[in-house]
């Protein structure tokens, strides 16, 4: 099965694009959703995180305190690396496991940090959703209510637009026009169906 890696910076519109693919009947395996599932109480990944970072990252109910963990790793590159060393292999292994169960011409691997984690080998093609940085900032402000300085710090930890585009096999430009966005996705959908067909022809 053809695996399409969907990626893009914060606020670029990856989730909207993934949703359109789902409406077209294409399975989407989402790295963020899997990461949330892997840190539910009782899961081995959460136990590893607590062992590494201490009980301060847990709530009184034994759940992951995401804010506490974020504050811990945001200003400490070593802690961030330790977090990634625990999370990324577990997330990618689960994505592969889920993909093996899917019967479809192709599927979407939605991985926000695909380029940053150097995980291009997980997929057959890379689809980048791109928009101007100013638009990213405005969208995240509106969506999450974050301060602009914090958004800029988050952007600074991600690959640049140029770095992502240099890795892309396919590019979606998302400037906010939903009908244009849907057309781009539908065109890519047809292309991926054709690629899958050619790949599977004897």
- Spatial CA neighbour of 93 closest among 51, 126, 44: 44
Instruction: Give the residue extent of every domain in the chain.
Output: 1-27+106-197, 38-101
Dihedrals phi, psi of 43, to nearest 5 degrees: -80, 145
For 83-103, write each residue's pLDDT tens digit: 999 999 999 999 999 999 999
pLDDT at 72 over 90: no
Please tell me the predicted confidence (pLDDT) of residue 161: 92
Please tell me the predicted confidence (pLDDT) of residue 145: 86
Please tell me the predicted confidence (pLDDT) of residue 165: 96
For 108-156, the DSSP string reads EEE-TTTTTTT-GGG-SEEEEEE--HHHHHHHHHHHH---HHHHHHHHH
pLDDT at 202 over 80: no
pLDDT at 189 over 80: yes
- Token output for 49: 């995180």
For 63-114, the DSSP string reads -B-HHHHHHHHHT-HHHHHHHHHHHHHHHHHHHHHHHHT--SSEEEEE-TTT
CA pair distance 30, 114, nearest whole angstrom: 12
- How deeply is 171 buried, as exposed, middle or buried, from its count of CB atoms within 10 A (0-12, 13-18, 19+)? middle
> What is the average per-residue pLDDT within 41-67?
92
pTM for this entry:
0.90
For 3-27, write each residue's pLDDT tens digit: 999 999 999 999 999 999 999 999 9
For domain 1-27+106-197, is the CATH number 3.40.50.300? yes
CA pair distance 190, 184, nearest whole angstrom: 10
Neighbours of 19 (CB within 10 A): 13
């Amino acid at each position: 099965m053809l695996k399409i890696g969907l990626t893009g910076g914060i606020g670029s519109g990856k989730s909207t694009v993934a949703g359109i693919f789902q409406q077209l009947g294409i399975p989407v395996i989402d790295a963020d959703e899997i990461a949330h599932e892997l840190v539910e109480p009782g899961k081995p990944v959460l136990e590893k995180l607590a062992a590494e970072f201490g009980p301060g990252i847990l709530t009184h109910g034994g759940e992951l305190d995401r804010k506490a963990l974020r504050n811990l790793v945001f200003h400490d590159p070593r802690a961030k690396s330790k977090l990634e060393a625990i999370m990324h292999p577990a997330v990618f292994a689960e994505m592969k496991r889920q993909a093996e169960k899917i019967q479809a011409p192709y599927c979407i691997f939605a991985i926000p940090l695909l380029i940053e984690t150097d995980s291009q080998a997980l997929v057959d093609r890379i689809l980048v959703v791109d928009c101007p940085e100013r638009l990213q900032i405005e969208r995240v402000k509106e969506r999450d209510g974050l301060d602009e300085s914090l958004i800029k710090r988050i952007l600074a930890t991600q690959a640049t637009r140029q770095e992502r585009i240099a890795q892309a096999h396919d590019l979606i430009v998302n400037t906010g026009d939903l009908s244009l966005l849907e057309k781009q996705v539908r065109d890519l959908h047809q292309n991926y169906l054709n690629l899958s067909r050619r790949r599977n022809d004897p």
